[in-house]
Amino acid sequence: MAQGQITQSQLDSKLAGFKQNDFRKQYSDNALLKDVLQQYNLAIRTNSGNYNSSLVLNYKNDNTGIINAYNNQINIFYKGSYHVSKWLDANFGVNGIIGNAKASNSSFATSGTNVSPYLQLLDGSGNKVYYTTGDYNSYNTTPTPNSMLVNHLDELGLDSRITKQYNTRYFVNFNAKIIPGLTFFPQFQYENGITNISAYSEQQSFIMRYLNNIYSTASATTPVTYTSLLPASGGKLTTTNTTRDSWTARAQLNYQKTFGKHAIDVIGGTEFHQTHSKGTNGLLLGYDDQLQSQSTTTVNFPGLNTFSKSGLNTFKPGFSPTGLFSTYLNSPIGLVIDSTHRTNSGYANATYTYNNRYNALGLTVLIMQMFSAWIKNSGAAPFGRLACHGTHPMKIL
């Protein structure tokens, strides 16, 4: 107004319009959903003398309370019990879980409180309104190769993360009555888990436009042209694939004896547990899901790293994109450490009771743990020679 570019009446009209806006309510009405969790169960049980069995099927669907997202799961559980003889009972079973979930990979899009409440998500005709994020000045006149305008609803339809999980558990245990009062309980359980996570940021998603602007340099000639260290087309696909295997073996002896006013109850056992996890990470740049194409091999990663540390980007002068490089370009190709965790424990508990009124208790527990982490390397270095290679123990506790 001081420069004569707007009149008082125009300013008053603009302010009156802002007062009518309620971004958070629009976000709640158009992006958030009433959280609905649906579960369906089917159980089949049989009893045929010495053998009992139970099969339970469960399906769960959760809309997670926001658009373009879901969390679905199928759970299958089977258990069998067999009375082998008068001194031996056996129980065995399997439990399988299949999960499939979709969520936004954008922390910006999943919150309606990160822009001014006086903005509009949709205009009076229901059309999307575009604005800028809090770290970019909407009045900035510096030209950019990609627009920095954004709308939450657009981003909730882009830049998604899909997680698929497969978990299986097998178990068997026995109850053996060795002599009167002495019972032996051996148990064994094995679990296997596979998790696959893929996060796809399309070319038109905000984060890809932002990264392209950061890693672009403008020419000194007119008309201005831009050179980007990232592929000119396509988006970004990051993947993480992990597996987890674990087993537990346990053996326990129980002895109970009552004679006159005296009673003793003794429990002793040992347990061994091991968990082994490993996985891989992956990054594709210039990725197009429809065309099934990518151009990662054309990307100069050392150049991206050097550029990130220089602070010489023209999009945000003085801003260091080191954190962006680490989060979006370096970490997705980092290691998933191959680790093994072992635990061995032993325990004993003795209780003496006199006349059903007085107790004396003794307890002993011994736990031993070892954690081993291994980095497996073929000896090939993407950005230079390695001082050493092979398989190396990282840590033992």
pLDDT tens digits along 296-352:
999 999 888 888 666 556 677 677 788 888 889 988 888 888 999 998 888 888 888
- The DSSP output letter for 356 is T
Give percent above pLDDT 70 in the chain: 86
Mean pLDDT value of segment 27-31:
97
* Residues near 107 by beta carbon (within 8 Å), at least 6 away in sequence: none
Residue 229 belongs to some domain of the structure:
yes
Tell me the pLDDT band of 200, cut-offs 50, 70 and 90: very high
Residue 63 belongs to some domain of the structure:
yes
Residue 116 belongs to some domain of the structure:
yes
- The DSSP output letter for 95 is E
| pLDDT per residue as tens digits for the range 228-261 | 899 989 999 999 999 999 999 999 999 999 888 8
CA dihedral 222, 227, 228, 234 (to 10 degrees): 90
Residue 386 belongs to some domain of the structure:
no
Q: Which residue has the higher pLDDT, 133 or 102?
A: 102
Residue 252 belongs to some domain of the structure:
no
| Kind of pairing between the strands at 182-201 and 390-396 | unpaired
Interatomic CA distance for residues 136 and 144, integer angstroms: 12
Cα distances (angstroms) measured from residue 278 to each of 142, 330, 335, 391: 46, 19, 9, 14
The type of residue at 222 is T
Decide: 193 and 243 in contact? Cβ < 8 Å.
yes
Angle at 34 between CA 31 and CA 40, to 5 degrees: 125
| pLDDT per residue as tens digits for the range 359-388 | 877 766 665 655 555 544 433 333 333 333
pLDDT at 13: 72
* pTM metric for this prediction: 0.82
Q: What is the C-alpha radius of gyration for the chain, rounded to an integer number of angstroms?
A: 31
Interatomic CA distance for residues 237 and 289, integer angstroms: 9
CA end-to-end distance (rounded Å), the chain: 68
Helix (H) / strand (E) element for 61: namely strand 51-62
Residue ranges of alpha helices (H) inside 21-123 are 23-30
Residue 348 belongs to some domain of the structure:
no
Domain region containing 328:
21-174+186-241+274-337
Tell me the pLDDT band of 68, cut-offs 50, 70 and 90: very high
| pLDDT per residue as tens digits for the range 254-266 | 999 988 888 889 9
Residue 42 belongs to some domain of the structure:
yes
| pLDDT per residue as tens digits for the range 299-314 | 999 888 888 666 556 6
Interatomic CA distance for residues 260 and 273, integer angstroms: 41
Mean pLDDT value of segment 209-222:
86
Residue 223 belongs to some domain of the structure:
yes
Please provide the average confidence, as pLDDT, over all residues in the chain: 86
| 59 token code pair | 């399906």
pLDDT at 2: 63
**How many domains does one find in the chain?**
1
